[in-house]
């Protein structure tokens, strides 16, 4: 693994990039031998510094769980990051684009847990039993590492490129709807840009929740009741800029709107 002082330095660089809404050179360009374990260590140092500064962790995001996203990034392994309470918006929100870097939108479902979920052998059925409800969500991507040539190591270190999420209003228990067939029709300024269905995420969007529980177990952690789990996009990311209005239609699960200012 990278030396602790390098891990700390890179976490500090990412924190400064977050504060200034800037971009740093690829970690893997500077440290070609950096591993996935190194990247989660960098993310962990960054996360702990934020918690120490008073931010409250409300959940986790899972990324790169669909073929659409894997093809868009060239990365084929899922990843995860953390979400803080000050990054959660409700449908209809106005979002300041200047607080993010490389701003893009993804179409997802989020799950709120009613019970803890722990690996190492968590299954889809286990995840569905632990989920209180699903709610449509848009993820705002926020990349602080140059995009050209990045690898999963760069992305994970950068908190899996998570910036914020916008939650819809319709909530469904897993037994109320076949979550595999929830659609997403994503429009920017009235023009449809991306479409997909939630089955694109590992065959069932809650499969990622089970994957995450098993992954966290490897590091001595688990998912807790009340956490929000953002399950991964079933469309490619859509670029947005100041002045853009975004609408996503999730069929039986309603719509989400937001505007970037």
Tokens of 115: 């019970």
Q: What is the mean pLDDT of residues 104-126?
A: 97
Which residues fall within 8 angstroms of residue 44, CB to CB, at 6 or more apart? none
Using the predicted structure, report yes or no on whether residue 67 has a pLDDT greater than 80: no
Which residues fall within 8 angstroms of residue 255, CB to CB, at 6 or more apart? 91, 168, 247, 248, 249
3-class SS at 215?
helix
Task: Read off the pLDDT band of 72 (50, 70, 90).
Answer: low
Which residues fall within 8 angstroms of residue 247, CB to CB, at 6 or more apart? 186, 187, 190, 255, 256, 257
| Each residue's pLDDT tens digit, 203-258 | 999 999 999 999 899 888 999 999 999 999 999 999 999 999 999 999 999 999 99
Using the predicted structure, report yes or no on whether residue 53 has a pLDDT greater than 70: yes
Which domains are assigned to the chain?
57-260 (3.90.850.10)
Task: Read off the pLDDT band of 168 (50, 70, 90).
Answer: very high
Using the predicted structure, report yes or no on whether residue 77 has a pLDDT greater than 90: no
- Predicted TM-score (pTM) of the model is 0.94
| Each residue's pLDDT tens digit, 2-42 | 999 999 999 999 999 999 999 999 999 999 999 999 999 99
Work out the end-to-end distance of the chain between its first and last CA atoms, rounded to an integer number of angstroms: 41
Using the predicted structure, report yes or no on whether residue 76 has a pLDDT greater than 70: no
Tokens of 234: 């079933």
Place of tokens 């177990």: 217
- Among candidate residues 77, 230, 250, the one with its CA nearest the CA of residue 140: 230
């Amino acid at each position: 693994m990278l030396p602790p002082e390098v891990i700390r330095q890179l976490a500090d660089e990412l924190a400064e990039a977050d504060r200034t809404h800037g971009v740093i050179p690829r970690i893997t360009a500077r440290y070609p031998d950096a591993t996935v374990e190194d990247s989660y260590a960098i993310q962990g140092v960054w996360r702990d510094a934020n918690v120490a500064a008073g931010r409250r962790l409300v959940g986790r995001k899972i990324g790169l769980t669909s073929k659409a996203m894997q093809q868009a990034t060239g990365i084929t392994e899922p990843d995860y990051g953390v979400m803080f309470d000050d990054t959660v918006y409700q449908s209809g929100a106005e979002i300041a684009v200047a607080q993010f870097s490389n701003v893009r939108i993804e179409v997802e479902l989020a799950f709120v847990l009613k019970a803890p979920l722990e690996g190492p052998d968590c299954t889809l059925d286990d995840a569905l039993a632990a989920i209180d409800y699903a709610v449509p969500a848009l993820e705002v991507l926020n990349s602080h590492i140059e995009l050209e040539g990045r690898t999963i190591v760069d992305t994970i270190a950068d908190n899996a490129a998570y910036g914020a999420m916008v939650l819809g209003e319709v909530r469904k228990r897993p037994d109320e709807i076949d979550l595999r067939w929830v659609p997403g029709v994503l429009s920017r300024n009235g023009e449809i840009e991306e479409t997909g269905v939630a089955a694109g995420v590992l065959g069932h969007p809650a499969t990622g929740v089970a994957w995450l529980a098993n992954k966290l177990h490897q590091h001595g952690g688990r998912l807790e009741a009340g956490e929000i789990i953002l399950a991964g996009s079933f469309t490619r990311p859509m670029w947005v800029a100041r002045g853009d209005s975004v609408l996503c239609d999730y069929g039986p699960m309603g719509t989400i709107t937001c505007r970037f200012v």
